[in-house]
Amino acid sequence: MTRPPIALVVAVAENGVIGKDGGLPWHVSSDLKTFRRITMGKPLIMGRKTFQSLKKPLDGRDNIVVSTNKDFSPDGALVVASFEAALALAEQCARARGPRANEIMVIGGSRVFEAALPVAERIYKTEVHASPAGDTYFPDPDPADWVEMLREPLVRGPRDEFSATFVMLERRAVFDSSGPAAA
């Protein structure tokens, strides 16, 4: 079995902000529902701060946390010391889960995104239509490397602080001038 594709899942403000003080600088409930739908049943790779911001492990998914803190061992999470170790563990988890675990999902923070971006094949990005203050930023993917496959506005609900657009990007290397490359 080949390794499932690596996908980044991120919500990014217009100014590149993805976080502030260990959390999200907005509340967009429709994005949280999209995140749950996209990631359910799949292994998740995240940094320690991202895991701690969740308050508890995300149900129905393998929570793989990258941390060099040897004393960090929260219930409901699998802790590894490097991104490479997280990828290997995520691959094992995906095999154990079966066909539904058809992607390895990287959910942040910025250092984990930086490590994953060179090997990622897909980005699920929610563009949050705001420019809040923040202290954590998404590394800018080179537009020459990516093809936009989907763009759709998220329906703004009463619990959404800002409007947002869902975008799916695929790494350009997968495509030629006539569409998806033959496998």
Which residue's entry shows tokens 């529902």? 33
The single-letter code of the amino acid at 93 is: C
Local confidence band at 178 (pLDDT 50, 70, 90 cut-offs) = very low
Domain boundaries, the chain: 6-180
Provide the residue type at 30 as one letter: S
Q: How confident is the model over 99-121, as a mean pLDDT?
A: 95
If you average pLDDT over residues 107-134, what whole number do you get?
Answer: 97
Distance of alpha carbon 118 from alpha carbon 82, whole angstroms: 15
With bands split at pLDDT 50, 70 and 90, how would you rate the model's confidence at 182? very low
| Average pLDDT estimate for 145-173 | 95
Q: Which two tokens stand for residue 4?
A: 């499932």
Indicate the residue type of 32. L
Q: Which fold has domain 6-180?
A: Dihydrofolate Reductase, subunit A (3.40.430)
Half-sphere exposure of 9 (CA within 13 A, CB side): 22
Please tell me the predicted confidence (pLDDT) of residue 19. 96
Q: What is the pTM of this model?
A: 0.92
pLDDT at residue 175, as a whole number: 55
Q: How far is CA 3 from CA 6, 49, 56, 143, 162, in A?
A: 9, 26, 28, 25, 36
pLDDT tens-digit profile of 19-39? 999 999 999 999 999 999 999
Mean pLDDT of the chain: 93
